[in-house]
Amino acid sequence: MEIPRLALGTACFKSDDEIIKSVTNCVENCGYRHIDTSKDYESETAIGTALHDLFQRGVVKREEIWITTKLEEDCHNPEIVESELRGSLKRLQLDYIDLYLIHWPCETETVDGKCQIIESKYSIIETWKAMEKLVDIGLAKHIGVSNFNIGLMEKLRVCEDIKIQPFVNQVEMHLLYQQEAMTEYLNKRGIYIMAYSSLGAGTHEGKPSVLKNETLIKVANELGKPVAPVCIKFLQKLGDVVVIAKSTSPERNRENSELDFDISDEQMAELKKCDIGLRFISIPGFPFSDRW
């Protein structure tokens, strides 16, 4: 199965019931075949409930749906990597995962309610080699990374002990932060880039809104389409980009899945000019100077 280029995001839902309804509707009525989750999102159990029901009713077969989940930043110890994935599989009610990612290349801790970087006890190479074993024993079809910069991607690429290169790098990517250098680097090496916060990660005080961008609205009006699917389509056309999109609205999720239209070269050029290098997601003290 090829990785579906549109994934349903499952972070920051208000309740398990909301997750179950969203996953069920998106798979059954909107054609979604890729769900992105993680232990940290606390959505795996609800997704497992929804998937079990969908499989039981014959809506979709296991081999027809792609599930991505993640190893969290406090679980880099190679000795616990397998047990962490087994925990996710139990919550998801699955025998294997399609894609397992190292969520962050660094460890964090919460101090006074704020997330901060701490020095990792384990090298990323050690953790990655433990990830490779998950493929060897059939618990993961593919493995990848998230929030890695080019320097860290190179560290994995040149390491002689590495047998499997990352399948994807999942990073923040949207109209206002288009990840041109990262996309070029990954595409040259046959690695997918997976875009989170693709529609702008909600409202952030003092920061511009992706979906209220004037150029995006103009292009959407020209195409006769809502702004969100135009934003998704734009990102997909930048290269081998898998876009994660999320809404609690069934109607919005349906709109986001209706991507059977094209954006002209002229419109693409206009939208590319919207990149202002704006991040919505960041952690104080992140130790890497280049963009990720």
212-233: b (≥16 Cβ within 10 Å) or e: ebeebeebbeebebebbbbbbb
Locate all alpha helices (DSSP H) within 112-179, ordered by sequence. 124-136, 150-158
- Residues tagged active-site: 41
Locate all alpha helices (DSSP H) within 67-108, ordered by sequence. 81-92
> In this structure, are residues 193 and 173 in contact, taking their beta carbons and an 8 Å threshold?
yes
Q: Is 174 annotated as a binding residue?
A: no
Amino acid occupying residue 248: T
Alpha carbons 142 and 134: distance in angstroms, whole number: 9
Q: State the DSSP string of 160-194.
A: TT--S--SEEEEE-BTTB--HHHHHHHHHTT-EEE
> In this structure, are residues 216 and 231 in contact, taking their beta carbons and an 8 Å threshold?
yes
Quick count: other Cβ atoms within 10 Å of Cβ 61? 9
Alpha carbons 172 and 201: distance in angstroms, whole number: 9
Q: Which residues are annotated as a binding site?
A: 103
Q: Which residues are annotated as a binding site for substrate?
A: 103
